[in-house]
A and B are shown apart, each in its own frame.
Chain A
Amino acid sequence: MHPWLLSLAGGVLIGLAAVLLMATLGRVAGISGIASSLLSGTRDWPWRAAFVVGLVISPLLLWLVRGESGIGMPQVSWPWMALAGLLVGFGTRLGSGCTSGHGVCGIARLSPRSFTATILFVALGMATVSVVRHWLGGLPA
């Protein structure tokens, strides 16, 4: 299948998962919110933990069905992975959402907050890659 079609199909599955969560539990499928609130000892942790478990074991299912997990190799060295993780964690909780909560569920709800956040994080992501690849000529190891 053409990679663009694969991506479209993958997107549809992500959407179906979001719709399933809304239809059954009445919740938006925001990964950062679902996972990060597990840290605050919330009373409704079981469904959140179950969702994260599903997410974590999903490549195993892909591997069983398609023969490949779909997981690619990191592109930057470990200090940059650590810095990136810190920024992604801090930013998604401060901004109340990530690619899924704002970018998919929020835009689907036509939320002005989510439109704003999505435009901003995509723009900053693009700016970061441009600076790193075309000004700095890559990240130092």
Chain B
Amino acid sequence: MKALMALFAGLLFGVGLGIAGMTQPAIVLGFLDVGGAWNPRLLFVMAGAVLTTAIGYRLVWRARKPRFEASFDIPSVRRIDGRLLMGAALFGIGWGIAGYCPGPALASLGSGIGSVWLLVAAMIVGWWLASRWPLRSNPHSST
């Protein structure tokens, strides 16, 4: 049942990405192009997603526990450290180069476009490299 729920959540998430235009790197790069013909669509994606999640989370947290687990597992790390800053900065540069963040990259695999597969393969290598990075912090900070 847990896997079924996760499958459905992944499906819903991906359909949302597709409708929102997030699987079109031209739109994503257009949003990041504040100095050019700026495309504000991602603001609407963020607004819809953040508001829905913010309200939904608070409704869900009224329950003592999630439906199929013993407790909520919410990131507890509060420290803003070099890992967070360096990681976010490198991610931003990569995002700005090609217009793919991890969700849309995975959701674009089905197109069979070779260079998308290459990007996802490189992303997996990046994940692996970062997991071997010496300054490991609490693994529970991983979202």
Name B56's contact: one of A19, A36, A130 (CB within 8 Å). Answer: A19
The answer to the question of A74 belonging to the interface, with a C-beta cut-off of 8 Å to chain B, is yes
The answer to the question of A25 belonging to the interface, with a C-beta cut-off of 8 Å to chain B, is yes
The answer on a CB contact under 8 Å between A37 and B142 is yes
Hey, what's the 0/1 contact readout for B1-44 against A, CB within 8 Å counting as 1?
A: 01111111111111111111111111101001111100011101
The answer on a CB contact under 8 Å between A60 and B110 is yes
- When A88-B94, A111-B75 are in contact, do A7 and B41 touch as well, CB less than 8 Å? yes
Please classify how large the interface on chain B is, using the bins under 10, 10 to 19, 20 to 34, 35 or more: 35 or more
- B59 CB to nearest chain A CB (Å): 8
The answer on a CB contact under 8 Å between A96 and B16 is no
The answer on a CB contact under 8 Å between B54 and A108 is yes
Hey, what's the 0/1 contact readout for A97-136 against B, CB within 8 Å counting as 1?
A: 1111111111111011110111011111111111011100
Interface size counted on chain A using CB atoms at 8 A: 115
Q: Enumerate chain A residues within 8 angstroms of B49, measured Cβ to Cβ.
A: 11-12, 14-15, 18, 104
Q: Which of A19, A85, A86, A111 has the most CB of B within 10 A?
A: A85
Hey, what's the 0/1 contact readout for A49-63 against B, CB within 8 Å counting as 1?
A: 111111111111110
Query: Given the complex of chains A and B, what is the CA–CA distance between A53 and B78 in angstroms?
Result: 31
Chain A: CB-nearest residue to B40: A4
- B120 CB to nearest chain A CB (Å): 6
Q: Enumerate chain B residues within 8 angstroms of A15, measured Cβ to Cβ.
A: 16, 48-53, 56
